Every structure is written in structure tokens, then in C-alpha cells.
Structure 1
Amino acid sequence: MTKLSIVAGLAAVSMIAGSAAAQWVPGSEIAGQTLQVETNGVVNNITFQPGGSATITTPSGNAIPASWTATGGQLCLRTGTASECFPYQQAFQAGQSVTATSSCGATSRWLASAVNQQQPPARAAGERG
């Protein structure tokens, strides 16, 4: 194997690994979407706005302003001074519920009726365009 073929092989492996890592940005599938979150039999709807703001709508229709982050394997919600984080290791899928226990010890079932489609990684233009 020549030096050139080794370098080309390493570049291809690097590109494949880079594109796999670029497939999912935590929170990208739920930004702009509303998820149902059931805790202790109570279902709230949480709308995750791009930029980190959120609205929690209670069964009685009260809208509670909140903020959200999706980093470090955690999906965190904050309302005023209260904060609660849930494990978040993979993208939500439409119609598939996820059960998770929060940092406060509450177990909730999350359900997204719709999610944003993941964008394929941008391809760099080759020598000929």
C-alpha cells in the first residue's frame, strides 16, 4: 500500500466518521415542535421553540413560560428558578414514546407527534464542482 492510498483511506474514514457525528444535533428534531409529556397521569404539552424558549401548556390550558437546553446528554427545562433534566442520548422519533426519569426522580413518558427531519451533512464541492 502506498503512502497516497493510506492517506486517501484515512481521509475517507475521517469523512465517514464526521458525517455520522454530524447526523444528529441534540434538540434539532424538536425545535419548533410540541411534545406531550405525561408524568403521574398528567399530560402537559411542551412547545420547544428554536433558540431555547419553551411553553408548557397544562391540561387546564395554563401556559407556563420556560427555557430548554439539549447538551451533555441531557434535555433540561427551566421555569423560573426550577430546573429539571432528563437523559437525552438519541433523537426523538415521531409516534414513538420515550420513558425517562428526571434529575428530580420523576418518571415521564415523552411523545412527539412530529419531528424535524435531520439535514444530511453538506458535501464539499470537488475539483470539478
Structure 2
Amino acid sequence: MTKFSLIAGIAGAALFATGAAAQYVPGSEIVGQTVQVETNGVVNNVTFQPGGAASITTPSGNVVPASWTASAGQLCLRTGTASECFPYNQPFQAGQPVTATSSCGATSRWLANATNQPAAPQQRQAGERG
């Protein structure tokens, strides 16, 4: 996409991340969660669904179907043929806003109200003999 931001074009949005975890799968902390994204004073809600599906809800209530990926230090959103990527090197943390500039040059503030907790390490059950 050129100078016009995909998310700003929908009504304003964006994304980034912060935090760290062992055996971390990029994006796992936001699967099933909604992130508020503010671009140019407009707040959209981006819901990250399992399997790479997403939806962007505009302030007027319109829902725009989208898809998302998180890999190679980038979190990318796609709607139709438009795509926009954001730096993404660490997981989001609930309540901690992050400002990021997208591949389209739009600066946005991302706020995850909730995040998924990393999976607890599995403990081995002692066998019959110990």
C-alpha cells in the first residue's frame, strides 16, 4: 500500500507488541482478544481470531473482515487486497499501550485490554515406581 494507511482508511487503526515468554508463538497472546487501535484520533477495535481471521470494528459499528499474520518481526493485517504491517518483536501486555509506525507510514497507538497467558509448563506425573 502507498502513503494511505489501510487501517486509517478503514477508520483508523494499528498494532505492535511488548513483553516476552519462553516457547512463545507470535500472536498467541491476542488470539480471541480485541485490541483498540487509534490512528489520527479514530479508534477501531481489531479482533484477532484463531487461524488468521480478524475483524475490524469501526466507530460507527461497521465490521470489516480481515486476516492477520505474525512472523519475522511483523504483525500484518489484510483487508481485501490491501495489506499493512507493523513492527512486532514482543508479545502485547494487557493495559500497556504501544505506539508503532506501519509499513504505510501511519503511526498508531495499540492497546490490548486483555491478553492470553502463556501456557504453563507441563509437569510430568510420577509413574507407578516414582
TM over 0.5: yes
The runs of 5 or more residues in structure 1 that have no matched partner are 1-19
The C-alpha deviation readout for 1:62-91, integer Å capped at 9, x for no partner, is 000000000111000000000000000101
1:66 paired residue number:
66
Normalised to the residue count of structure 1, the TM-score between the two structures is 0.78
Which structure is higher in helix share? 1
Count of residues in Structure 1 that have an aligned counterpart in Structure 2: 109
1:86 paired residue number:
86
For 2:100, the aligned partner's letter is: A
Instruction: Determine the C-alpha separation between the residues in 1 that align with 2:93 and 2:102.
Output: 19
Instruction: Determine the C-alpha separation between the residues in 2 that align with 1:68 and 1:125.
Output: 38
- The list of structure 1 runs, each at least 4 consecutive aligned residues, that deviate by more than 3 angstroms after superposition, is 121-129
Q: Secondary structure at the match of 1:78?
A: strand
1:112 aligns with 2:109: no
Normalised to the residue count of structure 2, the TM-score between the two structures is 0.78
For 1:112, the aligned partner's letter is: A
For 1:34, the aligned partner's letter is: T
1:43 paired residue number:
43
Aligned-pair CA distance for 1:21: 4.1
Aligned-pair CA distance for 1:25: 1.1
Instruction: Determine the C-alpha separation between the residues in 1 that align with 2:109 and 2:126.
Output: 46
Instruction: Determine the C-alpha separation between the residues in 2 that align with 1:121 and 1:25.
Output: 14
Q: Secondary structure at the match of 1:51?
A: helix
Aligned-pair CA distance for 1:123: 5.0
Instruction: Determine the C-alpha separation between the residues in 2 that align with 1:121 and 1:87.
Output: 28
| Greater relative contact order structure (CA < 8 Å, 6+ sep) | 2
- Bigger Rg, which one: 1
The runs of 5 or more residues in structure 2 that have no matched partner are 1-20
For the aligned residues, what is the CA RMSD? 1.7
* Farther off after superposition, 62-71 or 115-124: 115-124
